[in-house]
Amino acid sequence: MKLQEIADKLELSGLTPVFDKDVTGVYISDMVSDIIANAKAGNLLVTVQVHANALAAANLVDVTAIVLAQGKQPAEDVLRMAAKHEIAIFTTALNRWQVATKLYEIGLR
């Protein structure tokens, strides 16, 4: 499924440019070490972590995009770094469970 299609269906707010990439799965975690160990390339990462280390972990495993739940907002330097590495960042007022449920409903696992 394309990233923009997911963003539209979940009504996500884009904080960076949206890159035309496929999303192959979902990973939900708030622990940097867990993201590094278990997220897969092409995953959509759902988290509440807004710091540069979470973005670095996402970049390391080549996630497609990050969805920040609970209305979290990263600093401008994190957004610039994400755009540089072509990792789209979205935010939503939904909590992680609600995001997971909506992703499941549109067929993304």
How far is residue 104 from each of residues 6, 24, 26, 84, measured CA to CA in Å? 11, 13, 9, 30
What residue numbers bound the domain in which 10 lies? 3-105
Q: Is the pLDDT of residue 11 over 90?
A: yes
CATH at 49: 3.40.1390.20
- Give the pTM: 0.96
pLDDT in tens, 29-75: 999 999 999 999 999 999 999 999 999 999 999 999 999 999 999 99
Phi, psi angles (nearest 5°) of residue 77 = -65, -35
Tokens of 62: 């080549």
| Domains of the chain: total | 1
Tokens of 73: 């907002």
